Amino acid sequence: MMLHIPDVLSREEVNGLRARLAQAEWEDGRLTAGAQSGSVKNNLQIAPGSALGRELSTFLLRKLGTNPLFNSAVLPLRLVPPLFNRYDEGMFFGAHVDNALRPIPGSGQRVRTDVSSTLFLSEPEEYDGGELVLYGPSEEKAVRLPAGHMIVYPTCALHAVTPVTRGSRIGAFFWSQSTIRSQEHRAILFDLDQSIQALTQREGPKSSEVLRLTNVYHNLLRSWAEL
C-alpha cells in the first residue's frame, strides 16, 4: 500500500528544520548503502551518528509518534531513526531495493524493513527532476510532494530517484518494522480503522456498529500481530 500523508510538519517546522540542515556537514550517501544500492547511489547525507543528525532524527520521531495517519497505516513496532539526504544538480539514485534488515544505530537491534517513508523538505518549485519513482508490476508512479508531506510504501518495492537537473532536493527517509508483517493485512486494518473513525464521527463512539467494528479490528490485530 502506498499512502500520501500530508502535513507531517507545519510550514514553521519545515523552515526550522531547513535552517538547522543549512548548518550540517554532508557526506557521501554511499556510506549507508548496501552493495547493490551503493553502485547506483549519488547523493549526500548527514552522518547518522552526528549530534545534529541525532537531534533532528529525534524531533521527527516525536512528530511521527503523534501522527494518526502514519500510525494507522504502518502500525510501527520499531523504526530506524530518520536519516537526511540531499540531491544537488546531477545527483540521482538509480533503481534499487532497500535492505531487508537494517540496524538501529547504538542499540544492537535490527529492524525488518516492512515500510519505507520519504519526507519531502524542499518545495517542488525549488528543484527540477528528483522524483521518487516506484516501480509496480504494471505501472510506474512518480512522486513529488510539497515540503512537510510524506509518502509511505512497501520496502519491497523497486524504486529510484531521478536525476536533479536544477536546484537541490532535501528530504528525510527511514524504515519501519510493522507489527503486521503482511502488506495485505496492513491494508485491511488501515481501511477498517479509517472506516471506524468516519463512522464514529457520524454515529458517536457509543454506537453499537462502532463498537462491533472496533471489536473486529482488535480481534484481527490480535490474530495478525507479531511482537
**In this predicted structure, what is the pLDDT of residue 125?**
98
- In tens, the pLDDT along 69-105 reads 999 999 999 999 999 999 999 999 999 999 999 999 8
Count of C-beta atoms within a 10 Å radius of residue 103: 13
- Ranges 11-15, 97-101, 136-140, 189-193: which has the least confidence: 136-140
Mean pLDDT of the chain: 95
**In this predicted structure, what is the pLDDT of residue 225?**
98
149 carries a ligand binding annotation:
no
pLDDT higher than 90, residue 108: no
Cα–Cα distances (Å) from 176 to 80, 134, 162, 191, 219, in that order, read 6, 18, 24, 19, 23
Q: What are the cell numbers at 12?
A: 514553521
Count of C-beta atoms within a 10 Å radius of residue 203: 12
What torsion, rounded to 10 degrees, do the Cα atoms 32, 85, 72, 5 define?
Answer: -160
Name the pLDDT band for 52 (thresholds 50, 70, 90).
Answer: very high
pLDDT higher than 90, residue 200: yes
- In tens, the pLDDT along 16-50 reads 999 999 999 999 988 777 667 778 999 999 988 89
Which residue type is seen at 115? V
In SS3 terms, the chain reads as CCEEECCCCCHHHHHHHHHHHCCCCEEEHHHHCCHHHHCCEECEEECCCCHHHHHHHHHHHHHHHCCHHHHHHHCEEEECCCEEEEECCCCEEEEECCCCEEEECCCCEEEECCEEEEEECCCHHHEEECCEEEECCCCEEEECCCCCCEEEEECCCEEEECCEEEECEEEEEEEEEECCCCHHHHHHHHHHHHHHHHHHHHHCCCCHHHHHHHHHHHHHHHHHCCC
Name the pLDDT band for 207 (thresholds 50, 70, 90).
Answer: very high
Contacts of 193 (CB under 8 A, 6+ apart): 72, 217
159 carries a ligand binding annotation:
yes
**In this predicted structure, what is the pLDDT of residue 139?**
85
**In this predicted structure, what is the pLDDT of residue 38?**
74
**In this predicted structure, what is the pLDDT of residue 34?**
67
- In tens, the pLDDT along 137-189 reads 888 999 999 999 999 999 999 999 999 999 999 999 999 999 999 999 999 99
